[in-house]
Structure 1
Amino acid sequence: MTTFRLATLNVHSFADHLAYRDNMNRLINILKPYNFDLIAVQETLNDDNWSKFCNLLGLNHFIYGPCEEHIFGNGIASRYPIKTYSNQRTSYSYLGGRRSLLECCLDSNHPFVKDRIFAVTHLDHLNEHDRLKQIKEFDPWNKNIDIFMGDMNSLTQDDYSNNYFEKNIFELRKKSDWEKPYFDVTQLITNQWLYKDAFKQINPNLKDKQLATCRYGTRIDYIYLHPRIYDSWILKDCSIIDTQNATDHNAVFAIFEQKQNL
């Protein structure tokens, strides 16, 4: 119990995004070797695929957080029992659909989970202004959520070189008639609420495609950490797991380790 391993992944409703067929076995083969203690997922349904996914990963305690639009449901699966949980939906629906925040506490003698709150969300995919309203309504900072994960559908400015940003993000979005790239959500989370971006904390110099978590070559999936004073646990590693096109996102994987001098 000196480590705790967790991840977040958009599972694309357990359908291969290229072949439109079941991606369950492919995802299990990719993810199982990482031996997760907890995984938070987006775009799942409360169905047999969700329960099978959890059980095959050895995460036999799992919860589901529905949205008005079922494809945007969130889930958390854990190696340890879930003590309490709640699901908050946005107060009204947006053009991109209603969204939700699923949070929980675990019931275990594992020292990492003591009094920690885990949460997952999937923010709007169309409009940064709507994403801002959603995350402000969820208000993870004032809820003292310790580990805040999910598909934020928002960019981080210093992830990209100027040339990559202009060619692969700005021009692509303009050509496709998508929204312009904004950074409001991630700046709110890190600059105002002072969450730590786990991946950037471990990989401060990675840029461009090296940190892509979605098929458009950008990073929109995150694990955020609420700093604790005198925490006996440190973030040991954070990396991106290549899902090999089994879904349209890569997973973000973090390892926490107990300090040895305590």
Structure 2
Amino acid sequence: MLSIPQKWHFSSHPLPRISSVLNPPGEIKRVVLSPKGRTKLNPLPDREFYASPRFVKHVDDKFISNLRDLYGEILRPEMEILDLCSSWVSHLPDEVAYERVVGHGLNAQELARNPRLSYFFVKDLNKDQKLEMEDSTFHAVLCTVSVQYLQQPEKVFAEVFRVLRPGGVFIVSFSNRLFYEKAIAAWRDGTGYSRVQLVVQYFQCVEGFTQPQVIRKLPNAKQGNSIFSQIAGVFGLLSGSDPFYAVIAYKNFKPIYE
């Protein structure tokens, strides 16, 4: 028979209810950005800025190769995918046919040219963050080189959480290129490290996402060290050696596939 030492004392007070401590899944726990951090140098509506189609790739071939490899590791053919802030290309692996890929963006002409999309819709997420979709619709949500333009990222990430299925993944990828006048101040004023941490905080501010995983693939140290190279990289003028960053988290849990 196990005897309990006399020095151990057990409280008769009941433990607090967990539901009174934790936030409901999908709830925004805290605000990440200050009002100033959300501002843009160009305050005109984004729909006007993106009114004319841009049939260009905003990152270099190495970045795209890294992104396709990442998608190949995480995404599965039977998945239904939402490509958020998409364009005329989705950078999905060519050899994989997914169950469904829904595109979102700001220019209908660009989205109509994207061969991977089952259908698409146009919406300015800086004006209205609500996604007109049912809860738990998608296995995966992607956001490629566009997170820097979100002025209400907390609300957007909460909406992504809502439309993801349990175990669904949100993959946010970016480099150092941007439309400078359209990026939010918190992003413009940051470094590669601080921008990664900013996206990590976007995930962490929504109750229910798993601990974000960060992937960094930086160019060779011999490249991009000059002041000109750094400035050119910020403005998207370099044709190669883009740094690759991705932040990944899952809704509720990370699934294990055989």
TM-score, normalised to structure 2, is 0.38
The structure in which a higher percent of residues are strand is 1
* TM-score, normalization by structure 1: 0.37
